[in-house]
Amino acid sequence: MATILKSEKANNDSITSEKEIARLEASTKSGLRLDKQGLPLIPQPSDHPDDPLNFSRPFKVYIAVLVSGLAFMAQLGSALINPAFRQMAKDLHVTVEQASYSTTVFILFGGVLSMFIVPFANVYGRRICYIIFIIIAVAGAFVSAAAPTYGGVITGRVFNGIGGSVPLGIGAATICDLFSQGERGLYMGFYTLAVTNGPHIAPIAGGYIAEKLGWRWCFWIPGIIQAAMWVVLLFTLPETLYSRKDHSALERKSYTQKLLFHGKVLERKVHPRDFLGSLRMARYAAVLLPSIWYMTANTYGSALYAVTSSQLAATVFHFDLEQTGLFMGVPLSIGCVIGEATAGWVSDAILNAYAKRHNGYRKPEVRLYLIPLTTLLAVGTATYGYCIQTRKHWIDASVCMAISGLGTQVGTTMVYTYATDSYKPQSGEIGAVINLFKSIFAFNIGFYALPFGMKAGFDAAFSTLAAINLVLLLPLVLLVWKGEEIREWQGTPKDHADI
């Protein structure tokens, strides 16, 4: 077994020296632990019951589902109002464009705030961050629902976005806390599917809700659901932050005691420089390049349809509010589900097959072998623009949206798994970086998507956006061959490497 471990290369999830092998063997009374493929678990679980890697399989799956559900509701709540912009604008005496800012401010604050939450999540724990910020999201949703003025609605949406930033920012870190490298893709895929499909399911329900109950219920309903989920997480979500070097403050406490707030989980300080930790991770190519590509993937494979389809469905296909919601949501949702069926578990299978041929070494760049499927995003977006410009049947446009959704979902899972495999201890910062890039870039799409299409033609405009996405995919192709060398050249991040 030592022979297998000595073949591991230099990355955060690997083992590289006889000293490290001896340390791992000494850290577990039962010796090295293996996965179903007979390969060493990376990282190695300790013998401590607080180690989330030692949680029972059903409990770990439950936590992953709960965290994914929180992320899904954050995304659902951000976009449920989208089909009802016209109703909202009429009631509040603002323009449709101004009404759409209720979504864009959520996206902006949800993206920026996660960077400032991660340092606390790495010291005070993941659990307390979920508890505090989900209730902030609930309060924001209720404020927007009850506000009599446009300013009140926007204020509520700001706090709704701040609260929603936690599952979007540290959700990936929570998944990494729970699962070893060889199985992480499957569960990260569940999480990313929730993140991606939240805004796609939203207009399906949002159209009906606005039509039958009124646009304000597009805020009330997600707020009520999030409040119910907050109660569930309050009593069932354990702490998943765990140091493989330092003792936890939760040691020798009962399950009930662990549900209470005890201050720091890990005895270390939060330094001002920690708030730049996420940005420091952006200097690593294995984080920066995928994040840049993904911000265009999320925007041109998802957000683009959210900000344009309401207008296009009404003017091109003459859909009513309910039909518009179905058109905006069903094709993308189906595409993403199909995409995830070919992403997470497939990525794990390819990675483990590679490890068997390379003495147990799971090379993170193997995650990038899914790149060919991600090109479907550009194909779908470009052909969708052509369908709109030439007034093709709505079924043709829907198929193109589904194809784009498929490529988007595969790319999302690929980016999250590759970046967190490369630097697992910094998965919280990585999630915040990805969320920041995604949110800031998507924030701007509402300002130029429709004007660009109307001026240049939707076939030319959407093809241009698709081409940008394809060009930014090329550096990821380079990482397939040179990513390992680049990671070794850039070195290993030192921040809380024991997590």
What's the farthest any 2 CA atoms get from each other in the chain? 71
Query: In the CATH hierarchy, which fold is given to the domain comprising 276-490?
Result: Growth Hormone; Chain: A; (1.20.1250)
Terminal Cα distance for the chain, rounded:
24
* Domain 50-242+255-270 identical in fold to domain 276-490: yes
pLDDT, position 315: 87
Say if residues 39 and 352 touch (Cβ distance below 8 Å).
yes
pLDDT (0 to 100) of residue 167: 92
Separation CA 485–CA 400 (nearest Å): 38
Query: Is 489 exposed, middle or buried (CB count within 10 Å of its CB: 0-12, 13-18, 19+)?
Result: exposed
How confident is the model at residue 225, as a pLDDT?
96
Q: Which stretches in the chain have pLDDT values below 50?
A: 1-29
Q: Quote the distance between the C-alpha of residue 318 and its chain's center.
A: 34
| Element containing residue 133 per DSSP (H, E) | helix 126-146
Q: What is the dihedral of CA 144, 146, 152, 157, to 10 degrees?
A: -10
In this structure, what is the dihedral angle of CA atoms 136, 138, 139, 141, given to the nearest 10 degrees? 120
| pLDDT (0 to 100) of residue 151 | 94
Give the model's pLDDT for residue 348: 93
CA distance 445 to 437: 13
Rounded Cα distance between 368 and 248, Å, is 35
Residues 6+ positions from 479 with CB-CB distance below 8 Å: 285, 286, 289, 290, 365, 368, 486
Residue with tokens 């265009």: 296
Sheet strands (E) in 276-435: none
Q: Where are the domains of the chain?
A: 50-242+255-270, 276-490
pLDDT at 131: 95
> pTM for this structure?
0.87
Give the CA dihedral 465, 467, 469, 471, nearest 10 degrees. Answer: -150
CATH topology for the 50-242+255-270 domain: Growth Hormone; Chain: A; (1.20.1250)
Question: 398 by DSSP, 3-state: which?
Answer: helix
Beta bridge pairs of residue 34? 40
Q: What is the DSSP string of 59-70?
A: HHHHHHHHHHHH
